[in-house]
Amino acid sequence: KSFTEPFRPQYHFSPEANWMNDPNGMVYLDGEYHLFYQYYPDSTVWGPMHWGHAVSTDLVHWEHLPIAIYPDKNGWIFSGSAVIDHNNTSGLGSPQNPAMIAIFTYHDPVGEKEGRVDFQTQGIAYSLDKGRTWTVYADNPVLKNPGIKDFRDPKVRWYADSEGNGKWIMSLAVWDKISFYSSPNLLDWTFESDFNPDWAAYGGVWECPDLFPLTDTDGTQKWILFVSINPGGPQGGSATQYFVGNFDGKTFSTESSETLWLDYGADNYAGVTWSNVPESDGRTLFIGWMSNWQYAQIVPTHPWRSATTLPRNLELVKKDNGYLVASRPVKEIEKLRTESITVSGNSFELENELVELLLSPNQEDFKIHISNDKGDRVIIEKSDQELKIDRTQSGFIDFSTEFPAVHNAPLHAIDVKNIRLFIDRSSIEIFINDGELVMTELVFPTFPFTNVNLEGISDSNTLHYLNGIW
């Protein structure tokens, strides 16, 4: 595999060719992290959806595998999740060889064309050979449409109450709310409750929910609900909001009272967490689609479109004004470091295009200029209690009127202590204070970035050059 095309991400996952959107069905099994994804193998724009597939033993290096799930008589295969049915509740595997079960949305294009409202339903497929081959369940769909157009993106997890009684819980995006369903066996589903507080962000349709517990360093556990929305994100277009609260097996209640965004950049959408991560690992692992529906289908890449974000582990952090979910690049990324340099002064050159930078501000406000000799530049700035990234002169920008913009993120009460930046061939990811504030942004410089200029930043910083993964 060469992966040498212009803008081809060198340490982010992308399909070899053609269109990708949401990551789907992330599940860990026997030493492998599985990544499925919304895939259209016949074009570089969105179309009839399949589940593409890749595996990794370290979340960083990926092996592309054949398409896992194809459209069938019930429709195209939209987003969803995967679980390991350890107790063989479904009867589709055995206790010795539990089934890997994918739960996804069928989108029936015929029903849609006919103007029906019930063309999205939930189906399942299972694999008994570590995700290599899949069998579609004969009695699909397992959850029929109750008469609402947007009824999709099931994220399923096992939930055990304090007596140890367990059941499967499905979070489902239903137009402008999240509906929770329960099941003893992944085959029969019962409606439990809806969640849609009036103060949440409703600029667009709700998509790709995820419900999971997180525990902070004091041992306090909260349940987190992710809801991706498109449009209506803080930078326009798509983004992921989240709620901090409690889930009692039937109902999610939130203690948040304002919209929280997982990532304030323009390009992190539809991300959800891995299931079946071993307790001995204990991390909550996340990956997102590194694009935005505003321009995802017209970005200047060929013969593929879209990549995923860096894999991140999610942490619950208590702040003076409540809890937030921090996203941190997984530690496995550090294996890519090839050369580490202490750079002094406020201006230095980059000799490699794959870069990780660790910076410490020494003033209230700061500015980071990343540029090349062709005049392309990205400016990251903190001022007026906001973090800003300006990609208006970042290189190729005019494929979309929405792409060239300055994106602002409120710092809330965050006092910036450290800045970690990752530069790949067509992306910049900024992590403030170990991921308390994150901005993920696509950029298409006409030439690699070669210069860094700093203001308000300490004059001793760390620069790591990174290896590519392909």
Q: Under the rule (CB under 6 A), what is the footprint of ligand FRU?
A: 21-22, 38, 49, 78-79, 105, 152-153, 207-208, 270
Contacts of 317 (CB under 8 A, 6+ apart): 216, 323, 324, 325, 326, 436
For residue 135, give the H/E element and its range: strand 135-136
Burial (CB count within 10 angstroms: exposed 0-12, middle 13-18, buried 19+), residue 188: exposed
Question: Which one, 237 or 245, has the nearer CB to ligand FRU?
Answer: 237
Q: How far is the CB of 152 from ligand FRU (least distance, A)?
A: 5
427 three-class SS:
strand
Q: How far is the CB of 164 from ligand FRU (least distance, A)?
A: 34
Q: Would you call 22 a catalytic residue per the annotation?
A: yes
Question: What is the Cα–Cα distance from 272 to 275, expressed in whole angstroms?
Answer: 10
Q: How far is the CB of 151 from ligand FRU (least distance, A)?
A: 10
Question: Which one, 118 or 332, has the nearer CB to ligand FRU?
Answer: 118
Q: Distance of CA 327 to CAs 11, 40, 331, 362, 420, Å?
A: 18, 29, 12, 23, 12
In total, the chain counts a number of residues equal to 470
Q: How far is the CB of 24 from ligand FRU (least distance, A)?
A: 8
Contacts of 336 (CB under 8 A, 6+ apart): 11, 60, 354, 466, 467, 469
Q: How far is the CB of 270 from ligand FRU (least distance, A)?
A: 4
Question: Which one, 39 or 134, has the nearer CB to ligand FRU?
Answer: 39
Question: Which one, 101 or 457, has the nearer CB to ligand FRU?
Answer: 101
407: tokens are 């994106």
Helices (H) and strands (E) in the chain, counts: 1, 34
- Which among 293, 228, 235, 299 is positioned nearest to 264, based on CA atoms? 235
Q: How far is the CB of 297 from ligand FRU (least distance, A)?
A: 12
Largest Cα–Cα separation, the chain = 66
Specify whether the CB–CB gap between 429 and 435 falls below 8 A: no
- Which among 273, 22, 276 is positioned nearest to 131, based on CA atoms? 276
Question: What is the Cα–Cα distance from 401 to 391, expressed in whole angstroms?
Answer: 12
Specify whether the CB–CB gap between 389 and 428 falls below 8 A: yes
- Which residue is catalytic, options 22, 85, 263, 267? 22
Question: Which one, 78 or 168, has the nearer CB to ligand FRU?
Answer: 78
Specify whether the CB–CB gap between 347 and 454 falls below 8 A: yes
Q: How far is the CB of 39 from ligand FRU (least distance, A)?
A: 9
Question: Which one, 154 or 245, has the nearer CB to ligand FRU?
Answer: 154
Question: Which one, 37 or 366, has the nearer CB to ligand FRU?
Answer: 37
DSSP tag of 415: -
Q: Catalytic amino acids?
A: 22
